[in-house]
Homo-oligomer: A and B are copies of this chain.
Amino acid sequence: MTELLDQPAAEDVEPSPYRLVDCDVHPIMKGGMGDLRPYLSKAAQRRLGLDERRRLTTAGHREAVSIPRNLLYVNQAGVLRDDARAPDGSAPGADPAFTARQLLDGNGIDRAVLIGGEVLGLGALPDPDAAAVIASAYNDWLAQTWLAADDRYRGTLVVGAQDPALAAREIRRAGQDERFVAVLLPLTNILMGERHYYPIYEAAAELGLPVTVHPNSGEGIFRTSPPMAGGTPTYYVEWHTGLSQVFQANVISLVCHGVFERFPNLKVVVTEGGIGWIPDVVWRLDKNVKGLRDEVPWITRLPSEYVADHVRFTTQPLPEPKRRSHLHALLEVARADRTLMFSSDYPHWDFDEPLHVLTALPPATRERVKARNAIETYGDRL
Interface residues of chain A, those whose CB is within 8 Å of chain B, are 75-77, 187-191, 193-194, 219-220, 224-238, 240-242, 244-250, 252-253, 256-257, 274, 276-277, 279-281, 283-289, 291-292, 294-296, 317, 319-321, 323, 325-326, 329-330, 332-333, 349-350
Flag if B325 contacts A329 (CB, 8 Å): yes
Rounded to whole angstroms, the CA-CA distance of A108 and B229 in the bound complex is 37
Chain B residue with Cβ nearest A187: B230
Q: Which residues of B contact A274 (CB under 8 A)?
A: 280, 284
Chain B residue with Cβ nearest A293: B237
- Name the residue among A231, A233, A291 with the largest chain B CB count within 10 angstroms: A231
Rounded to whole angstroms, the CA-CA distance of A323 and B331 in the bound complex is 13
Flag if B245 contacts A249 (CB, 8 Å): yes
Flag if B225 contacts A238 (CB, 8 Å): no
Chain B residue with Cβ nearest A75: B292
- Name the residue among A236, A256, A291 with the largest chain B CB count within 10 angstroms: A256
- Name the residue among A187, A194, A252 with the largest chain B CB count within 10 angstroms: A252
Flag if A321 contacts B279 (CB, 8 Å): yes
Instruction: State how many copies of this chain the complex holds.
Output: 2
Rounded to whole angstroms, the CA-CA distance of A291 and B238 in the bound complex is 12
Q: 14 A-B Cβ contacts within 8 A?
A: A191-B228, A191-B230, A224-B224, A225-B230, A228-B245, A228-B248, A231-B249, A234-B257, A235-B295, A237-B295, A240-B288, A276-B283, A277-B277, A280-B319
The minimal Cβ–Cβ distance linking A68 to chain B, given in whole angstroms, is 16
A279 is contacted by which of B228, B232, B294, B319 (Cβ under 8 Å)?
Answer: B319
The minimal Cβ–Cβ distance linking A218 to chain B, given in whole angstroms, is 11
Inter-chain pairs besides A242-B248, A325-B329, 14 sampled, C-beta below 8 Å: A76-B295, A191-B233, A224-B224, A224-B225, A228-B248, A229-B229, A230-B245, A230-B253, A240-B288, A241-B288, A245-B245, A279-B326, A326-B333, A329-B329
Rounded to whole angstroms, the CA-CA distance of A188 and B226 in the bound complex is 13
A283 is contacted by which of B228, B292, B321 (Cβ under 8 Å)?
Answer: B321
Question: Ordered nearest first, which 8 A-B pairs have the shortest CB separation?
Answer: A276-B280, A329-B329, A229-B245, A191-B231, A230-B246, A230-B249, A228-B249, A277-B280
- Name the residue among A76, A220, A294, A295 with the largest chain B CB count within 10 angstroms: A295
The minimal Cβ–Cβ distance linking A189 to chain B, given in whole angstroms, is 5
Q: Which residues of B contact A329 (CB under 8 A)?
A: 325-326, 329-330
Q: Which residues of B contact A285 (CB under 8 A)?
A: 237, 241
Flag if B292 contacts A237 (CB, 8 Å): yes
Rounded to whole angstroms, the CA-CA distance of A245 and B252 in the bound complex is 12
Flag if B276 contacts A279 (CB, 8 Å): yes
A236 is contacted by which of B190, B226, B245, B292 (Cβ under 8 Å)?
Answer: B292
Flag if B253 contacts A238 (CB, 8 Å): yes
With A229-B228, A230-B220 known as contacts, the answer to whether A249 contacts B253 (CB < 8 A) is: no
A326 is contacted by which of B77, B240, B248, B332 (Cβ under 8 Å)?
Answer: B332
